[in-house]
Amino acid sequence: MTEPGLLDLEAVVVGQPKRSRWRTYVGPALVVSTVEGTPLARVTYPDDTYAVLATTSGEFIVGMEQFGPVEFRFIDAEGREVGTTGAPGLIKTLRLSLRTERGRQLLLTRPSLLHAEWQLTETDPEESPAPEILGRVTVSTIDSWLGLQQYVVETDPRLDASERRTVIASVVCLHLLRRPPGRSATPE
């Protein structure tokens, strides 16, 4: 099973670990930790189309397989699909459509490229005047010289562990869309 509480926590941080400016970094691409900074899991990219979220002890949580330019499928340890996420439209980081293991449809949206906060809802904020907010994802730069990013993921207590797994995996995919592996380009 996963580290105690990883998928039960209402808030986690998905971020790029700090690294030396003078040496080649060889650690995980992203680390999932508590808000206080205790590492819970890590993300590695075995190749450019597949990412793995595993506990700090190495136990597999979910694989994220890219099967289109902006579409991802989440795979459990037995190889079953346990969710998907994708970015419709031309600007790929304004909106992600999520589908959980049980088929629940969620949206992760932000109003413009200038906003650092995405909202997690079941209905489209553009079509519903006041959608129920089920969570927030806030991005910030933790090292402007290297351009390291972190995402604070806050979810509603009503989301279950499998739905939180989908949200965390989707944030990893959002980071992938904003900063592909091996590139240090400015994020969208």
Q: Is 101 helix (H, G, I), strand (E, B) or coil?
A: coil
Instruction: Please classify residue 131 by burial: count the beta carbons closer than 10 Å to its beta carbon, then call 0-12 exposed, 13-18 middle and 19+ buried.
Output: middle
What is the pLDDT at residue 32? 96
Structure tokens at 185: 């380009």
Given this model, what pLDDT does residue 187 score? 41
DSSP 2: P
Q: Is the pTM of this model over 0.85?
A: yes
Q: Domains of the chain, with CATH numbers?
A: 11-178 (2.40.160.200)
- pLDDT given for residue 8 in this prediction: 87
How many residues belong to the chain? 188
Angstrom distance (rounded) from CA 135 to CA 147: 25
Which segments in the chain show pLDDT lower than 50?
1-3, 183-188
Question: Residue 27 has what pLDDT?
Answer: 82
Specify the pLDDT at position 90.
63
pLDDT, residue 169, reads 96
pLDDT tens digits, one per residue of 131-165:
889 999 999 988 877 788 999 999 999 999 999 99
Q: Which of helix, strand or coil describes residue 178?
A: helix
